[in-house]
Structures are given as structure tokens and as C-alpha cells.
Amino acid sequence: MRSLSLLAGCAAALLSFANAEANLSNPDVSKQMLSGTFEPPQVFQHTNLVRTVNLEKEYPRETVNVVVENIDSKPQQDYYLPFPQDLIARVGGLDVKDKNKPDAIFPSPEIVGIDTYSPIEYYRIRFPSPLAPKEKLTLSITYSILSALNPLPATINQADKQYVQITLNAYTNSAYKTIKQKTKLKMPTNDVPEYTVVGTNAEGQEDPVKQGVTFTYGPYGEVPAGANQPVSLRYEFTKPLLHATLVERDIEVSHWGGNIATEERYWLENRGATLKNQFSRVQWQQTQYFNPPTSALKELEYPLIIGSANPYFIDDIGNVSTSRFRPRNTPKEALLQLKPRYPVFGGWKYSFKVGWDNDLKSFLRKLKTGDGYVLKVPFIEGPKQSEGLEIEKLTTKIPIISSEVSTHRTFMDTMGRSTLKLTALNVVDDFRGKDLVVTYDYPFLAGFRKPIVIFSSLMGTFGVAYLISRLDVSIGRKA
């Protein structure tokens, strides 16, 4: 195991890149390149498929429950999930489960690219074991689509409602024939002034079928692989569209002090509709008395782990006093409420950092043998907003795209401290429940290195001061 006297678990996270397509050319993103003539072999078919798209947050969260049947004469293990080339860069948190065997472990899905330009790229999903001929497997595939909403109209008055538009495929993106399928859209409100009507579904009803806040496209009969039926919906979403061009998360572990210090630095941007006129502080204060829905960011809520202490909130100007910390020693989380210096409307930006301390013993345990330790910390905490938060560049089920171990030196360090830096892509705030587990060696004597250095430095300083005090620096002649 690698010796780690300090973990600075640094997660550099991009929250919803403006140019998410840049991820495709990012050297950090590894792909297996396939021939330009590659097409997934038609060894499977979908006997039934139900796709649910949750639009309650600013990023659509899609869940595809599908029955996959092996129609080949040989066992098959590789399943391909296609996405348009401009969309695959914005797919995050892809997770695959066997609905009938929840404990089955799937290898992490990997992107496979085409060596020449192709409008379609694929995720390759490998089953835990080959699927025999004529056997069926019920998959549950979930993922988020970042930067999917566009405000329409793009400019509004300060107190207006905000509407956003989303365009998607009424059919589920599939590399295989689908016998029966439907798509359910769960809207945040029933205020949907515009949506695409396809015609009639397989049951002869108008497509889509509306029921409360749910729009259902389908069911459809047999649909060939690669079929596309674009549909658009415009609906009310009077909440901020929060993105961050960069997030840095540092976790510093001190064995000697028994403390774990966490700091998160955010460069936030609201990508909602911009203001048609200048911002009016008077109008803002008047409307806040009634607390109406707004597309501006006015507060961030940080649920923190029990026992969190010493929080701080600093922006580019300095300490921000408009915050409230509610520590709790009960089983409930502590709560840190942050209010920016100004409401962040569409097109506005706000950068800040927030930090807090915790007792190390709540996160660390020593292995029974040797000098090994196991550290278990949240992979990401951050604000918990009803509108959601997109994170595009930040292990558990989160695919780490790069890791780096280096040395970090701080005050009175001699050899420096080992630093682990992790980078991942396309993460959303739904990953708050995921943990990062690091195992490392920390020799017993290493804990005394800094005290010995400090003691030696003080003794050396006193010794030098004593010698200097013994020097005769007088100018006069001795008698």
C-alpha cells in the first residue's frame, strides 16, 4: 500500500460545461477505438422497454427498464448502448443493474469510439456472465443528461416565470430491434404550453397521453434499431439553472490533530433566462416579502455530516456574513445555509469557497495488521438544491478518469505530505450518497515527525539566540 500521511482528496469537478462536447477531445477521456465500419452485431432484441425521464431537476434523469433477449446461436456478453455524438459527452452517472439480481456486479461501462467521424458513439456494457441463446435479462439502465435545457424565451423580466425547452427522442436510443416500448416524461409542473404531438400510438390514442404531470409517448409496436422520432416540450421551470465551470474539493487529514478539514471552491453560473431590463433592487426587496418562485439563485443549503464544526463562507470580496449554521448532535444532518451577496440571475456568475471541520475518528479506522488505515469520506457533498446541480468534471460507481499521487508541503513540513488527486466527469448532485474509500499506510513514527521538527527548530532557535547573547558586541575598550 502507498504511504499517505495526508489525503487531500481533490475532486476537480466541472458542473455542466458550456462546451460539453470538448469532453470528446479531452485527453483524459479514454476510449476504445473501433473500425469506421463498426455496427453492433444484431445478437439481441428488446422484447419490452419502458423509459422514464424525470424532468423535475435541471438535468433529465433517464431510467430505461428493458428485457433483453439473446437471439443469437451463441452466448453473448457485450451489449451496446448508442448515443448521438454530440450527446454522449453530456451523459453522466451511467449505472447498470440486473433487476432480478440486484447484487450482480457489472463492470463499469466504457465508451467505444469510431476511428472516423460517426454521428453515433456507444457505451459498451458487459454482462457479469454471458447470456445464453434464447435467455432473457432484465436491465435497469440509469443516466443523466447534462446541459439539456434551454430557456425559451431567452430573456425575461425580473419577476416573470421562466420556461425551458427540451428536445429528445420519443424512441429510446437503441442498437437493437425493440418489439414494444414507451417513454414516460415526469414534468415538474402541469404548465406545459407547447409539446410535440406525434399522432397516434399503438393503442390508437393521441400521442402523447397526458395524465397529471406525466406525458407518455407510446406504446409503440416494433421499432428498428437506430430509429429516431424527435419531440420537444416547453414547460415552466422557474428555478435557477445552476452550473459551475469549476469545482475543487479538498479533504485534508491530520492524524496528529485528529481532524479532517474539508474545503470546496465553486465557480457558479446561472444559465437561466437573462434579464430583459436592468436589475431593480427595490423590486427585488418588495417581491421577497411574498417569497415567490424566481429564476435567480438566492440561497444555497449545505447538509453536513453530524458533528461538523467551524464552517466558513468566503467569496471574492471576503467573508460573507449572510449565512446560518445549524449544528445538530441528533441523528439529523447539520445544515449550513448560505446566501450570496446578491441574487444570481440568468447569465450572472458567483464564485466562493466554503469549508468545515470534522472529527477524524468518524471517518478513519485502523487495519488489524500493519500500519494500514482505511479512510471513508463522501465523494462529494456540496449544496442540495431542489432544482439540482450538474457536475461534469469531478470511487465507487463514479468513473474516475484520472488519478495522481504527488507531494504537498505546508508549514513546517520537511518531507511533505502525500496528496491523492482524483478527477471524474459528468457528476450530478445525486451522487451525494456515494463514498470514496482510500486505504493507505501511515507508520507509527511518522506521526511524530512534525513534533520532532518543531521541537528541533525551537531548540535550534534558542541555541542560536543563546550563542548570540554570549557574543560581545560592545564598542568600548575593555579595562
Architecture of the domain spanning 150-240: Sandwich (2.60)
How far apart (Å, rounded) are the C-alpha atoms in residues 220 and 206? 12
10-17+241-271+299-339+347-450 in CATH: which number? 2.60.40
Give the three-state DSSP class for 435.
strand
Which pLDDT score is estimated for 70? 96
Which pLDDT score is estimated for 290? 83
Domains 10-17+241-271+299-339+347-450 and 20-146 share a fold: yes
Mean pLDDT in each 10-residue stretch from start to end of the chain (479 residues)? 37 32 40 69 96 94 96 95 90 91 90 75 93 96 93 94 96 96 95 94 91 94 94 95 84 85 90 93 86 90 87 90 76 82 93 92 85 85 70 40 50 63 74 80 66 79 87 68
How far apart (Å, rounded) are the C-alpha atoms in residues 229 and 220? 12
**Pairing mode of beta strands 44-54, 177-178:** parallel
Contact 54, 37 (CB under 8 A): no
Identify the CA nearest to 236 among candidates 309, 308, 175, 292: 292
Which pLDDT score is estimated for 331? 63
Q: 260-264, long-range: CB within 8 Å, 24+ apart, which pairs? A: 260/357, 260/358, 260/359, 260/360, 260/363, 260/364, 260/377, 261/355, 261/356, 261/357, 262/355, 262/356, 262/357, 262/358, 262/381, 263/353, 263/354, 263/355, 264/353, 264/354, 264/355, 264/381, 264/382
List C-alpha distances in Å: 227 to 112, 233, 273. Answer: 20, 20, 33
Which pLDDT score is estimated for 223? 95
Domain range list for the chain: 10-17+241-271+299-339+347-450, 20-146, 150-240
Which pLDDT score is estimated for 21? 32
- Model-level pTM? 0.80
Residue with cell 435557477: 240
20-146 in CATH: which number? 2.60.40
Which pLDDT score is estimated for 476? 65
